[in-house]
Chain A
Amino acid sequence: MTMNNANLSIEQIDALQEIVNIAMGQAGDSLARVLDSFVRLSVPRIRLINAPQISQYIAEIVGDAEQITAMRQSFYNNFCGEALTLFSSEGCRDLAPLMGYQQPLDAETEKELLFDISNILVGACLNGIAEQLGADLNFSAPSIMAANVASSQLFSPDTLPWAYALQVEVNFSLEDHKFKSHLIIMLAEDAIIALGDSLNSFIEAI
């Protein structure tokens, strides 16, 4: 598969990186307020990849051996796509007391906790991006994509509805806790093109 139709230049990626950096700072701040804890932010890494390669990249980020739980949340309006939030299963359980939940967690409560965290991260991150680009986004409710699976089992490449994954690798971790999460934004081809146009306007305005 080639990427002739949708591509981002180095300059566009650099602009997007800084936009994401600001957005994830806001997401981290929201999370820190909810958890009353200091959130460590990594340098966001941005890569545009072909969607079928995504399993391989996810394995790279989270490690093959790790059991993960994934939430998906779609967004639409100026850009259409889907945001995936990946959590290590162990880290989720670690988060429960900080969110005020009693241990051990039953499946229903764990789900509720993941919805909350996913909403915070996806909402703050994507709204932050949209705001800086002067775009509007709406969100559907999050749903569980997979619970406690190996990273390699998360996707079957044939069933992905998106041609491209804008791999926005945003890592949030908590000091003294095992919680870690990764955010990945999946975009359709025309959304990448629309994003490129918005980035050009942003760059020109600097």
Chain B
Amino acid sequence: MATPILVVDDSGMSRKLVIKSLPVNWDVEIHQACNGQEALALYREGKAHIIFLDLTMPIMDGFEVLEAIKREGLNAFVIVISADVQPKAQERVKELGAIAFLKKPIKAEEVLHVLKEHGLL
């Protein structure tokens, strides 16, 4: 069965770049959200086994999404993909349960590395 993955970013271009960086022939069902609120709704519907999450977003940002998911039992692998590259941002998302922090612009080999490292491929 295809793995449900969720790509969360307020920029359509950025979502496109994330989707393009995913391994080819990976059996996934891709869902997209443009803010944290939409992302949480999809997560609760079980449409997010793996989440590619931006941090800086309107309505609800990535930190808040991580907090909510953590509160609700962290039933997803969250890979943060952010332009906010401050060491403190990286520390915070790890504390909140993200498995990895990737800097924008995203690189396909880094995505591949994280997925392999966590046995997600």
Contact = CB atoms under 8 A, between A and B. Distances in A.
Contacts of A38: 86, 88-89
B10 A43 contact: yes
B75 interface: no
Interface residues of B, number: 21
22 contacts: A15-B13, A17-B11, A18-B13, A18-B14, A18-B104, A21-B56, A23-B83, A25-B56, A25-B83, A25-B104, A28-B84, A28-B86, A29-B84, A32-B86, A32-B87, A32-B88, A38-B88, A39-B86, A41-B83, A42-B56, A43-B10, A132-B105
B85 A29 contact: yes
A206 B16 contact: yes
Interface of B: 10-14, 16-17, 20, 56-58, 82-89, 104-105
B116 to A, nearest CB: 25
Contacts of A21: 11, 14, 56, 83, 104
Given A25-B104, A43-B57, A206-B16, A18 B11 contact: yes
A17 B17 CA distance: 14
A26 B85 contact: yes
Interface in A86-139: 132
A25 B58 contact: no
A41 B88 contact: no
A25 B17 contact: no
B95 to A, nearest CB: 13
Contacts of B87: 32
Contacts of A39: 86
Contacts of A26: 83, 85
Interface in A142-165: none
Given A21-B83, A25-B104, A43-B57, A206 B88 contact: no
A5 to B, nearest CB: 25
A206 B11 contact: no
A23 B16 CA distance: 19
Given A25-B85, A43-B57, A206-B17, 4 more contacts: A18-B14, A29-B84, A32-B87, A38-B86
Nearest to B35: A43
A17 B14 CA distance: 10
Contact of B13 (A23, A28, A42, A206): A206
A58 interface: no
Contacts of B12: 14
Given A43-B57, A43-B58, A132-B105, A25 B84 contact: yes
B86 A22 contact: no
